[in-house]
Structure 1
Amino acid sequence: MYYNNILTRSFSKIYRYHRYFTFSIQILCTYTVILIVIYNLTCLLTFYGIYSIKNQLDRIHYIILHQFNWDIQWGTTFINDLFFCSIISIIIYCTQIFNGLNKIQQHLISAYAGKYIDIPPRHNFSNNELISKCLHFSGYLCGYTAWGFIIFYKILFLICFLFRLWIRYDSKWFQHILALCLPIILIYLLKHILMSLLSEFVFLQNFGRTPSLNNRRIFFIFNYFNFFFDCFLGILSCVIRILKSVLASLLFMGRLDYSFMGRNLERLDQGYATYVTFIHMEIIHGHPILDDSLKLTEDMTVLINSYRKIIQR
């Protein structure tokens, strides 16, 4: 019973069973194709990649040896990098696939009840847009997932490969960069920790239980000096923001329910607009109350026709 609860709770994070909900055939077929594509891409990039990367490394070794007279031995450790990248990519993208199914279920159930919390309501799109954009759902979802998997796999392998060569052949440069970056990162982290502690124990009343300021004068004096500090440290925050956006784009490339452009510009994201219009079309043509009403009407029509035939006889 204990292991059953652990497995059920962990599985419910990526998919939750609902008694009165079933996915449409289009959704099930689309995600089945995506899983097959991910499996084929993993086998292709891993096993064919060993042969192709070995040939490319031999060409690069020949060019570097004749142009710069550097004898760099690649070795065979890149095979371990390939298997490592395959495992990480499969775990991340399979998790994203099942999380996407879970989000579709949540959005459809909420929309059946008339709650549009995470997606724009239907009146934001014209009838022409609903039809034309929802047609791209299956193709976009499969294409975004496949190309996101390939790009993430290639970038991860390149980072692992260059990082290993960097440490092996030029560890001094690595130490210099660490000596340059680590103090800035530590100052950045310590500043955020200090801000959090001051906010809880100095600025706010009742140790952060209420949003009321304890002393406005101290707060604005600290805000004045923090302005100059953030102007110089803002370049690190800018780099971190760019890295976060790039990493999020790679990890969530196969998730059409996430828009990378924010709430005001989300209609410019073709993938997200396709997902929203598909959800609305599923609600219009697959609402369970509508289906049950049509079934009852059809049964009543058959029953009335049968009675008429009996009366005519």
Structure 2
Amino acid sequence: MKNSYFVFSLGLLKSKESSDMYYNNALTRPFAKIYRWHRYFTFSIQILCTYTVVLVVIYNLTYLLTFYGIHTIKNQLDRVHFILLSQLNWNIEWGTSFINDIYLCSILSVIIYCTQIFNGLIKIQQHLISAYAGKYIDIPPRHNFSNNELISKCLHFSGYLCGYTAWGFIIFYKISFVFCLLLRLWIRYDSRWFQHILALCLPIVLVYLLKHILVSLLSEFVFLQNFGRTPSLNNRRIYFIFNYFNFFFDCFLGILSCYIRVSKALLASLLFMGRLDYSFMGRNLERLDQGYATYVTFIHMEIIHGHPILGTNFSFYFLLILESGD
């Protein structure tokens, strides 16, 4: 009776430390940042099949967007060239430079999304192993969902994962291509606008960075005791005086912080679109994220129906019943 339940339960008894449960050799060490091979843990058939389909979808999309996309984008650029020439009298020669942009965006999109796929497998592994031990640190516990929600939402896991990954890959590819193309044309035809933007933005960004460096240095060497090793204040009067002036400074500099916050949210949405285990909403609003709610309920259903300790005990009792003949 050496099924996956029994192997995992036996591994818990053999391993003295949590690090002993992972392979650490010359073959697995280079891939530790992408995926860690567990000695006794095995994914369910649904997870393996779903991620296999996701990898096939990424492969097909890469082929279609790269090779068929060259002909499609060339026709669209010729159409844009005709409109600009007839309406604005702008003669922009695209040439063949956009093909290099297509290849660059394809390689970048594949690297980013394949990395996200394997990182998603790591998160599923970590969440399942923690949940086997009754630890729900990164995901809400089961009592936050009704039984009906657990069943109805976990059914969308495979479809949402494939759909989110595919559309995230397409959107990231399209936006990165447009960005590369516009940046190339901007620098080639009118670099003065680019220089003016840099002259306008760089001073604000430098002031923003210098202010953060100053706050970090003051916090470590002036405000905190023992040079930041303890959280206790050392110079309370200087701290509150600086806090007063920093309030007015942040009121004006907060405009840049708003743009940075929105930019980070948009960039994170593009990069992590295929990651159902990440919610872009706060802890109180994460249940409004359908993808994240689907992921959490799927993890709970995996625990309910695939817990290795419970599976081993049930198998053992079932064999005892069969041997007793009752």
Report the TM range for the smaller structure's normalisation: over 0.9
Q: CA deviation at 1:7?
A: 5.5
Q: Which has the larger radius of gyration?
A: 1
Tell me, in whole angstroms, the C-alpha distance in 1 between the residues paired with 2:122 and 2:64: 29
1:263 — aligned with what?
283
Matched with 2:96 is: 76
2:310 paired residue number? 290
Shift of 1:170: 0.8
Report deviation, 1:19.
2.1
- Write the deviation string for residues 140-178 of structure 1: whole angstroms up to 9, x where unpaired: 001000000000000000100000000001100110000
**Aligned partner of 1:198: which letter?**
L
- Counterpart of 2:135 in structure 1 is 115
2:53 counterpart of 1:37: no
For residues 81 and 65 of structure 2, what CA distance do their matches in structure 1 show?
22
Instruction: Report whether the alignment pairs 1:9 with 2:29.
Output: yes
1:274 is matched with which residue?
294
Quote how far apart the aligned CAs of 1:69 are.
Answer: 1.2
Describe how 1:78-157 pairs up with structure 2 within 5 A: 78-157=98-177
Distance in 2 (CA, whole Å) between partners of 1:210 and 1:286 is: 44
Offset of residue 297 of structure 1: 2.8
Structure 2: stretches of 5+ with no match in the other structure: 1-23
Give the counterpart letter for 2:130 in structure 1: S
How far apart, CA to CA, are the structure 1 residues paired with 2:285 and 2:291? Answer: 13
Match of 1:169 in 2: 189
Render the CA deviation track for 1:230-273: whole Å, top value 9, x for unaligned: 11111000000000010011111100001011111000000000
Q: 2:178, 2:301 → 1: CA distance?
A: 41
The TM-score, its normalising length taken from structure 2, stands at 0.91
State the partner residue of 2:68: 48
Q: Determine the C-alpha separation between the residues in 1 that align with 2:315 and 2:229.
A: 55
8 Å Cα contact 2:54/2:162 also seen in 1: yes
How far apart are the structure 2 equivalents of 1:205 and 1:300?
64
CA distance in 1, matches of 2:79, 2:218: 57
Alignment of 1:228-267 (within 5 A): 228-267=248-287
Q: Which of the residues 214, 219, 223 maps onto 2:234?
A: 214
Q: Displacement, 1:5?
A: 5.4
2:267 is aligned with what amino acid?
L
Equivalent position of 1:311 in the other structure: none
Provide the aligned C-alpha RMSD in A: 1.3
Alpha-carbon distance, 1:289 to partner: 1.5
Which letter does structure 1 place at the counterpart of 2:181?
F
- Residue 28 of structure 2 contacts residue 37 of structure 2 at CA under 8 Å; is this kept in 1? no
Please give the alpha-carbon distance, in whole angstroms, between the structure 2 residues aligned to 1:22 and 1:267: 28
Mean CA deviation greater in 14-23 or 235-244: 14-23
Q: Does 1:28 align with 2:52?
A: no
Structure 1 Cα separation of the partners of residues 165 and 282 of structure 2: 21
**CA distance, structure 1, for counterparts of residue 26 and residue 170 of structure 2:** 33
Local SS of the residue matching 1:39: helix
Separation of aligned partners in 1, 2:129 and 2:28: 21
Instruction: Tell me the CA shift for residue 202 of structure 1.
Output: 1.2
**How far, CA to CA, are the matches of 1:10 and 1:148 in structure 2?**
27
CA-to-partner distance for each residue in 1:46-93, whole Å, 9 max, x for gaps?
Answer: 001100000001111111111111111011100000000011101100
User: Across the two proteins, how many residue pairs are aligned to each other?
Assistant: 303
Worse-superposed segment, 93-102 or 195-204: 195-204
Q: Distance in 1 between matches of 2:236 and 2:152?
A: 55
Letter in 2 for 1:232: F
Shift of the alpha carbon at 1:6?
A: 6.5
TM-score, normalisation: structure 1: 0.94
